[in-house]
Amino acid sequence: MKQFDVPPFYRSSLIGEIKKKRKLDDPRKKDFKPTQIKVDNLTFLIARHFGFCYGVENAIEKSYKAIKENPDKRIFLLSQMIHNPDVNEDLESHGLKFLQDTHGKQLIPFEELTSEDIVIIPAFGTTVEIEKKLVKKGIEIDTYNTTCPFVEKVWNRSAKLGSTNHTIIIHGKVKHEETRATFSHSSQNSPSLVIKDIAEAQVLAEFILGERELKDFPNTFRGNYSENFDPDIHLNKIGVVNQTTMLATETQEITDYLRSVMTQKFGLKNIKEHMADTRDTLCYATNDNQSATIGLLEESIDLAVVVGGYNSSNTTHLVELLEQKFNTYFIRNESEIIDENQIYSFDIHTKKRILNHNFLPDKKELRIAITSGASCPDKLVDEVIHKIIKLKNLNSKSIQIKL
């Protein structure tokens, strides 16, 4: 695996030691049991996989490389590099400016750009339309294009499906940067439709099976399908790809469900002519982080803390998994922890930051699960751990690590 040149202040000696030991002990990633960090009567259970993935480290490395190599040029980020405010704020502190927000709203007009400017394309990628605008301005977009290879893999798979006349069903959030980019690229090659969950897949199935009138399709999926999409024609041969940060289990559930629907309509012996096998589009890092979080669910734990950006899709799904069983606090960084009793956390359902009381239970033996999203620096996880240790009046020098 490639080693990336990421600024040292994103790293953590404690987390680095844990990850190094786990990699040596379990190189094939077969063990999803958490690591234990014990300090007296306080135990942290750290997910087997968490934090920066390949695509994120690649994006960060290229961003700081752009800063170093272009000291006299204006440097712009097309949108947030990744969904972590600490990372984006640090990049901004080096003079980088955002051209758009995460919803695609223009912050700085493209008209203000010149061919001398540097534009960094984020890990989520961007649309074909924006690429063309930048090229037309004379801006070179390849050197600092940080699009994640696994996102590009989805695009390539979509193109291949398009060449065999498959319609692309994208499991994703229609307003998310990555889904907007994937939709733009897939639409170049074939009819495309975005669905966000199994409920929308079930509605789609009703159109496929003729249980809903096709005239209602445009209103039902308004804004989610490509131009000239004809449900009477384009729902007879499909393939499912995904926004790489979605729940992998949900993508698989949607794929399996739609396969059963297509089997019901066309028969098992004809299924290969109507439904593509797209398991190869799932991101390994998303799978690993989610599997490791599921591993935490098997443990006896008093509460869980998830660290990451509040607009991070992959982090949100880790919260979804953990809150099924534990009191789960989704925090940006250690500053959200006020004291033993109070903590600010983000409610993924109401989309609001709220103040919670009774944060740390008054127990003789306390067990806390910790994980973080793929865009979260290890340093932030380290700081959360050490802040809790300090609040419990324990000595961090007595930390014991157990794999």
Q: What is the pTM of this model?
A: 0.89
- Is there a catalytic annotation at residue 250? no
**231 - beta bridge partners?**
none
The pLDDT, as a whole number, for residue 277 is 84
Q: Per CATH, which fold does 149-282 belong to?
A: Cobalt-precorrin-4 Transmethylase; domain 1 (3.40.1010)
pLDDT digits (tens, 9 = 90+) for 264-277: 999 999 999 999 98
Cβ(328)–Cβ(304) below 8 Å? yes
Distance, CA of 127 to CA of 337 (rounded, Å) = 38
* Residues of the chain scoring pLDDT < 70: 1-2, 280
Task: Convert the chain into a string of H (helix), E (strand) and C (coil).
Answer: CCCCCCCHHHCCHHHHHHHHHHHHHCCCCCCCCCEEEEECCEEEEECCCCCCCHHHHHHHHHHHHHHHHCCCCCEEECCCCCCCHHHHHHHHHCCCEECECCCCCECCCHHHCCCCCEEEECCCCCCHHHHHHHHHCCCCCCCCECCCHHHHHHHHHHHHHHHCCCEEEEECCCCCHHHHHHHHHHHCCCCEEEECCHHHHHHHHHHHCCCCCHHHHHHHCCCCECCCCCHHHHCCCEEEEECCCCCHHHHHHHHHHHHHHHHHHHCHHHHHHCECCCHHHCCHHHHHHHHHHHHHHCCCCCEEEEECCCCCHHHHHHHHHHCCCCCEEEECCHHHECCCCCEEEEECCCCEEEEECCCCCCCCCEEEEEEECCCCCHHHHHHHHHHHHHHCCCCHHHCEEEC
Distance, CA of 68 to CA of 103 (rounded, Å) = 29
* 54-136 and 149-282 agree in CATH topology: no
pLDDT digits (tens, 9 = 90+) for 127-172: 999 999 999 999 999 999 999 999 999 999 999 999 999 999 999 9
Distance, CA of 14 to CA of 194 (rounded, Å) = 41
The pLDDT, as a whole number, for residue 1 is 56
pLDDT digits (tens, 9 = 90+) for 165-220: 999 999 999 999 999 999 999 999 899 999 999 999 999 999 999 999 999 999 99
**Which is catalytic among the residues 178, 200, 334, 336?**
178
CATH number of 8-53+285-402: 3.40.1010.20
Domain ranges of the chain: 8-53+285-402, 54-136, 149-282
The pLDDT, as a whole number, for residue 216 is 97
CATH architecture assigned to 54-136: 3-Layer(aba) Sandwich (3.40)
Comparing CA positions, the residue from 399, 403, 332 lying closest to residue 13 is 399
The pLDDT, as a whole number, for residue 29 is 86
The pLDDT, as a whole number, for residue 397 is 85
The DSSP bridge pattern shows strands 35-39 and 352-356 to be unpaired
